[in-house]
Chains A and B, each alone.
Chain A
């Protein structure tokens, strides 16, 4: 059974000469976590801003809960909440005051505002800092407050634009935990990210974006079957041994760095055979390490081009 809460069809958006969104179409199931995955500048924020009724698309349609984000924006606003890429918290107010202000702007009565503020501070582990000004908060605390604020009026759909960009690894893990908890409550979550790992960890469905287009959609399993698992990277000392090695082992070849990436599927047997093959041919790599697949691997597999290679710095 499908029950899409967000339906986007052929959305286009142009800024001057730049076609930022080039006909995006996708659906998001009610209660699921959807990740829009793309590099910096791919157009993720632009898509979020259209869905959050902040800007209009040039053409195409976007609906949330059956309401059009352009012509029925007031109904859409009642269903959604937006947590932008940069925390929208008021530095000079305390955490508590921030929450209360948004509660009042949501036209909830005095009692409800108070009770909900206490509840959210508790839930987001901010009770201790409730009466401190936000300017004294850490990055992780700000993000948590930002999300607590956006939950105030119990939205059905939450937009999280790069919720972990700029967070340290520990705060990032905490944020993931929090996002999972939100999803458990039945809220639909639309998040954007630059990290394949993040989309993989959280999302039920991932849409990969590049140059204003969705180039692949699927579950994280489906994406992984395209790009494979962890890779072993072997680097060679000189051109001769690199050329020799690329004849005897199979993998992605990176000429300029004298590097070969091999899929080992996590098997020690494959790893042993690989090293044996090299040894028999008297080639010794100078460095080896395992690397998790990145967004760039996705581009490489799907488009045959590295996203970085395709951009201007090539």
Chain B
């Protein structure tokens, strides 16, 4: 009985994921933005600041991990708007009047968003290679990169589902995603944190984006990783679990209103 319910919950999640993927492909502007913006940021950083910022390596190598996570953050943030739209439109009500687990709707957004993340990240890496990015990673390191990015993106996607559930209209959903997009800039993503004023330096050193970026850098370029891998897993594993639980609770609460 439980197995059957799990089976159908998974099937419903898959149905809603396919729907989300269709949305992503058809909402061309969002997809172009999710890919185009990080690529533009990367080119700008490399071309404009590349000469001025001293990182001890080719700037393009230094900056790629930061661009990848900016890209993921941007792609994920679109989820908040889609979730809000579904909540205020009639689809959510219809699904709830049907005998199925409506959280398949959330799963659809999370996995669908992950597909968009994956497409955008691939494009970013390809463009980076074109403009001189020279990773030193072997197969194991690349698998590590994929693993840690998957954890990061899924946790971020659930977080944005939470944001989407919290707000009552699309404009607010848009606005709430904004701070997230700035977080990478006050980390070691684009400049070494030692160059920042001391208060900002303290923040940058201790916020979750920095260990993530240092882990990626280590895997891609062979710089020392230290505790950064475990810190990243703790931060984003924690975020994933908390966001998932909060999303589930909010979802039920929305039901009861």
Contact = CB atoms under 8 A, between A and B. Distances in A.
Contact of B26 (A84, A86, A92, A101): A92
Interface string A100-127: 0110111100000000000000000000
Given A52-B93, A84-B94, A104-B11, 15 more contacts: A49-B93, A53-B97, A54-B93, A54-B97, A78-B99, A82-B94, A92-B23, A92-B27, A101-B15, A102-B98, A105-B98, A105-B100, A107-B8, A107-B11, A149-B94
Nearest to A146: B90
A78 B22 CA distance: 28
Contacts of B256: 55-56
Interface in A247-270: none
A149 B90 CA distance: 13
Contacts of A149: 94
Interface in A46-99: 49, 52-56, 74, 77-78, 80-82, 84-90, 92-93, 97
25 contacts: A52-B93, A54-B93, A54-B97, A55-B257, A74-B99, A77-B97, A77-B98, A77-B99, A81-B98, A82-B94, A84-B90, A87-B90, A88-B91, A88-B93, A88-B94, A89-B91, A101-B15, A101-B19, A102-B94, A104-B15, A105-B95, A105-B98, A106-B98, A107-B8, A133-B26
Contacts of B255: 54
Interface string B214-257: 00000000000000000000000000000000000000000111
B22 A105 contact: no
Contacts of B96: 53-54
B147 interface: no
Nearest to B27: A92
B100 to A, nearest CB: 6
Interface residues of A, number: 31
Contacts of B8: 107
Interface of B: 8, 11-12, 15, 19, 22-23, 26-27, 89-91, 93-100, 104, 255-257
Nearest to B25: A92
A150 B256 CA distance: 23
Interface in A205-219: none
A70 B64 CA distance: 54
Contacts of B19: 90, 93, 97, 101
Contacts of B100: 105, 107
A101 B89 CA distance: 17
A107 B7 CA distance: 11
Interface in A261-301: none
B97 A80 contact: yes
Contact of A97 (B22, B95, B104): B22
B181 to A, nearest CB: 24
Contacts of B11: 104, 107
Nearest to B26: A92
A88 B102 CA distance: 15
B97 A90 contact: no
A105 B15 CA distance: 7
A82 B93 contact: yes
Most A Cβ at <10 Å: residue of B12, B91, B94: B94
The 10 closest A-B pairs by CB, nearest first: A88-B90, A77-B99, A88-B94, A82-B97, A84-B90, A52-B97, A104-B15, A92-B26, A88-B91, A86-B90
A105 B90 CA distance: 16
Nearest to A79: B99
B9 to A, nearest CB: 11
B172 to A, nearest CB: 20
Nearest to B8: A107
A102 B93 CA distance: 13
Interface in A103-162: 104-107, 133, 149-150
B89 A88 contact: yes
Contacts of B26: 92, 133
A90 B91 contact: yes
A81 B27 contact: no
A102 to B, nearest CB: 8
Nearest to A103: B15
Contacts of A78: 99
B255 to A, nearest CB: 8
Contacts of A80: 97
B4 to A, nearest CB: 10
Contacts of A102: 94, 98
A86 B89 contact: yes
Nearest to B90: A88
A193 to B, nearest CB: 18
